[in-house]
């Protein structure tokens, strides 16, 4: 596609067309075209409360983190399911993998709670409104019972081939959330 010729028509693009082209440019890694499309979009003015940027950043971080936790919960339940249907060494391996995913479910839940506490935000409001809340509640409850402790997770990480070099912790999850939140705040505040 000749984007130079297309760029002469940027002013005629409807919002849906522009968004579609921006997503296509991003998907193919064409940052120049994506930026041109974004920069050429007409600006609209709207009045929002001064909390809008902070709320938008929080919602974005919450949504991304919720998806990460759902992914971990799915892996946890899948590994448990396989462990329950196998015997011998395979059963042991999958049960250990499930316990590692259980550990990750726990630290992500604890990291989210700690991040929200530091930001003085209620950690449950956003999560309860999103899809998967019941699944995450079940996964966290089981993981608190069956997931590895920090020390067990470190021992398991050393046993794997190849060894897991960096194991996530509650602190590293909080740091990731803070970094993501700061990025969104910079963009929207």
- The predicted pLDDT at position 119 comes to 94
Mean pLDDT over 20-48 rounds to 89
Q: Whole-model pTM?
A: 0.81
Q: What is the 3-state secondary structure (H, E, C) of the chain?
A: CCHHHHHCCHHHCCHHHHHHHHHHHHHCCCHHHHHHHHHCCCCCCCCCCCCHHHHHHHHHHHHHHHHHHHHHHHHHHHHHHHHHHCCHHHHHHHHHHHHHHHHHHHHHHHHHHHHHHHHCCCHHHHHHHCCCHHHHHHHHHHHHHHCCCHHHHHHHHHHCCCCCCCCCCHHHHHHHHHHHHHHHHHHHC
Mean pLDDT over 126-137 rounds to 86
Average pLDDT, the chain: 90
Contact status, residue 73 vs residue 139, Cβ threshold 8 Å: yes
User: Tell me: the pLDDT tens digits for 58-77?
Assistant: 999 999 999 999 999 999 99
CB atoms within 10 A of CB 144: 13
Which sequence spans correspond to the domains of the chain?
11-45, 52-188
- The predicted pLDDT at position 163 comes to 66
Instruction: Count Cα atoms within 13 angstroms, Cβ side, for 19.
Output: 3
- The predicted pLDDT at position 115 comes to 96
Give the C-alpha separation, 145 to 137, whole Å: 13
**pLDDT-derived band of residue 40, with 50, 70 and 90 as boundaries?**
confident
Dihedral over alpha carbons 146, 168, 172, 136 (to 10 degrees): -40
Give the C-alpha separation, 39 to 28, whole Å: 18
- The predicted pLDDT at position 173 comes to 95
Positive/negative CA dihedral, 172, 185, 109, 64: negative
């Amino acid at each position: 596609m000749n984007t130079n010729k297309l760029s002469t028509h940027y002013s005629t693009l409807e919002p849906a067309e522009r968004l579609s082209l921006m997503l296509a440019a991003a998907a193919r890694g064409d940052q120049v075209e994506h930026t041109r499309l974004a920069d050429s979009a007409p600006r609209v003015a709207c009045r929002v409360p001064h909390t809008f940027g902070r709320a938008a950043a929080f919602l974005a971080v919450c949504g991304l983190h919720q998806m990460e936790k759902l992914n971990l919960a799915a892996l946890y339940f899948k590994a448990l399911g396989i462990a329950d249907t196998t015997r011998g060494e395979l059963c042991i391996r999958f049960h250990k993998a499930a316990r590692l995913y259980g550990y990750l479910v726990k630290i992500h839940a604890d990291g989210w709670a700690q991040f929200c506490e530091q930001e003085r935000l209620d950690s449950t409001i956003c999560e309860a409104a999103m899809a998967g809340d019941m699944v995450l509640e079940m996964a966290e409850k089981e993981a608190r019972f069956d997931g590895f402790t920090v020390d067990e997770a470190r021992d398991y990480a050393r046993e794997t081939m190849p060894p897991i070099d960096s194991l996530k912790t509650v602190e590293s999850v909080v740091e990731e959330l803070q970094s993501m939140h700061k990025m969104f705040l910079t963009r929207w505040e």
